[in-house]
A and B are shown apart, each in its own frame.
Chain A
Amino acid sequence: MNAVSMEAGLLLAGILFLLGMISVMIRRNIIFMLISVEIMLNAAGLAFIVAGSRWVQPDGQIMFIFILTMAAAEVSVGLALILQIYHQLKTLNSDTANFMKG
């Protein structure tokens, strides 16, 4: 049986997710917002690992692998978008990118 209680692991995942969410809401630098999304995805993966370890099943770890894949694809596309925004607007402030060009 596992020594670490499931509640503690889920609490850690919740705290990390909350920190990432707060950072997405308060920061205006778009790279920091991307980093915070990474933190939130990582916290979700941690919750899956905790659950998989609680019931000694490999499914939680498999979900973590899929989250990892998704995070890698997301960060590459997001960074390409950040490059384009920086070349267009010459700033990283996300509030300046609030207009559309049809």
Chain B
Amino acid sequence: MELTFYIAAAVAVLATLMVITRYNMIHALLYLVVSFLAIAIVFFTLGAPFMAALEVIVYAGAIVVLIIFVIMMLNLTYEDVQKEKEWLKPSVWVGPAILSLVLLAELVYMITAAETAPAAAVVAVDARLVGLALFGPYVLAVQLSGILLMAGIVGAYHLGRQKKKVVHRFLQERSAAA
């Protein structure tokens, strides 16, 4: 279990280092997903499996997809299909693939090790305890984070709205006639 932690930590640091040195945004996001997956493995080794699942779903799923959507909306790349083909060469995806394979091997090892030795050394704080504390002493903070998310939705809608140009129909008719 200790070795899996160190390998996952090394993968996380390596992937993060690749994120901050890329020039292409999509390549950086690929490495960012690998970094989040590695940190999820770290959470798993630390005895927080529920948080590992949340890390994969929210960080590697929702947030990265949101950033990809915005990159697509910005329409930064006007290159043609030839350029697209050039982007898909193996040197783009082989780095994230190797790092993800290391993580997959660790996951398979941990699942098989848990089957052979059910009394593992790690004391897990399971989701039941977290839920009990979350809706017990922390219920006010849960409501506050609900308010924060609502403010986030309203703010993102308001800021992201495109201003429509309003032209009087008389001017529209004149510009159509001219």
Residues of A bordering B, CB below 8 Å: 1-4, 8-9, 12, 15-16, 19-20, 22-23, 26-27, 29, 31-32, 34-36, 38-39, 42, 46, 49-50, 52-53, 56-59, 61-62, 64-66, 68-77, 79-84, 86-87, 92
Contact = CB atoms under 8 A, between A and B. Distances in A.
Given A1-B123, A83-B160, A71 B63 contact: yes
Task: Pick the most buried of A19, A26, A92: most chain B CB atoms within 10 A of its CB.
Answer: A19
B135 to A, nearest CB: 10
B46 A9 contact: yes
B42 A79 contact: no
A73 B5 CA distance: 30
Q: Interface extent on B, as a size class?
A: 35 or more
Contacts, number: 172
B54 A69 contact: no
A39 B28 contact: no
A4 B5 contact: yes
Contact of A64 (B6, B28, B51): B51
Given A53-B48, A72-B63, 20 more contacts: A2-B121, A3-B2, A12-B12, A15-B13, A16-B13, A19-B13, A35-B28, A39-B19, A61-B50, A61-B125, A68-B54, A70-B148, A71-B59, A71-B63, A72-B58, A72-B149, A73-B149, A79-B66, A79-B67, A83-B74
Contact of B133 (A23, A27, A62, A70): A62
Given A35-B28, A35-B67, A86-B74, A77 B159 contact: yes
Q: Is the interface of B mostly helix, strand, loop or mixed?
A: helix
Interface string B40-74: 00110111101100110011001100110011011
A88 to B, nearest CB: 10
Interface string B11-48: 01100110110000100110010011001001101111
B110 interface: no
Contacts of B20: 19-20, 22-23, 26-27, 32, 36, 39
